[in-house]
């Protein structure tokens, strides 16, 4: 999961000042790097849709915000994603996928198999990555689309890149 460092590097190079996250083992390295960075305000959320509002507020206040969440959290954001389109502010998110490869929890399957379609329907530009070696370049491209292109851009991080989870661990 060292790819988290590649996203962190892209976040720093893009001048992101805020990172909104729901605690997630898949994003652990990235979250910890952001928490340790005095130039980034890392904000732990109680629910994912709060991150959309935080991103809007950051942009209105002259800052850039990135959202970190699992694919199951995308379902929680669907209604709030309309705020992005209506208010026309950039949005960048990195989503660790569930409900794909070696999923143990059947509750993760519905959103895991429809995350990309749900985001695209909400007007997000969506890219996917399965190879850890490609994460840095795709993360930088996602941030460029969002903050330079003024778009809603999301990078889906394949479940193959995170440790296999079980109820016992």
pLDDT tens sequence across 102-145: 666 667 667 778 899 999 999 999 999 999 999 999 999 999 99
**Residue bearing the bigger pLDDT, 166 or 33:** 33
Nearest to 68 by CA among 36, 107, 34, 108: 34
Residue 95 sits at φ, ψ, to 5 deg, of -120, 120
In words, the CATH class of domain 3-161 is alpha beta
pLDDT at residue 125, rounded to an integer: 97
Domain parsing of the chain, residue ranges: 3-161
Any idea which residue has 């669907």 for tokens? 78
pLDDT at 137: 98
**How far is residue 68's CA from residue 115's CA, in Å, rounded to a whole number?**
14
Please tell me the predicted confidence (pLDDT) of residue 104.
67
- Half-sphere exposure at residue 121, Cβ-oriented, CA atoms within 13 angstroms: 11
How far is the C-alpha of 83 from the C-alpha of 118, rounded, in Å? 15
- At residue 168 the predicted structure's pLDDT band, cuts being 50, 70 and 90, is low
- State how far the Cα of 51 lies from the Cα of 47, in Å rounded to an integer: 8
The predicted structure's pLDDT at residue 33: 97
What would the mean pLDDT of 52-69 be, rounded to a whole number? 96
Question: Tokens 């330079």 label which residue?
Answer: 148
DSSP 2: T
Eight-state DSSP code of residue 1 = -
β-strand pairing of 18-21 with 41-44: parallel
pLDDT at 89 (0 to 100): 95
Strand locations in 49-149, DSSP E?
Answer: 65-70, 91-96, 125-129
pLDDT at 66: 98
Res 52 pLDDT > 70: yes
CA atoms within 13 A on the CB side of 75: 13
- Report the 10 Å Cβ neighbour count for 112: 22
Residue 95: strand pairing partners? 69, 156
């Amino acid at each position: 999961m060292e790819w988290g460092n590649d996203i962190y590097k892209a976040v720093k190079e893009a001048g992101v000042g805020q990172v909104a996250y729901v605690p997630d083992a898949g994003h652990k390295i990235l979250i910890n790097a952001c928490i340790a960075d005095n130039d980034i305000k890392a904000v732990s959320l109680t629910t994912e849709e709060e991150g959309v509002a935080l991103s809007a507020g950051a942009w209105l206040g002259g800052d850039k915000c990135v959202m970190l969440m699992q694919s199951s959290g995308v379902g929680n954001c669907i209604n709030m994603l309309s705020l992005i389109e209506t208010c026309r502010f950039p949005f960048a998110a990195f989503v660790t996928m569930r409900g794909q490869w070696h999923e143990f929890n059947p509750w993760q399957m519905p959103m895991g198999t429809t995350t990309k379609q749900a985001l695209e329907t909400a007007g997000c530009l969506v890219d996917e990555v399965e190879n850890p070696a490609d994460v840095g370049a795709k993360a930088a491209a996602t941030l460029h689309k969002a903050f330079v292109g003024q778009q809603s851009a999301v990078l889906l991080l394949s479940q193959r890149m995170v440790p296999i989870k079980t109820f016992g661990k």
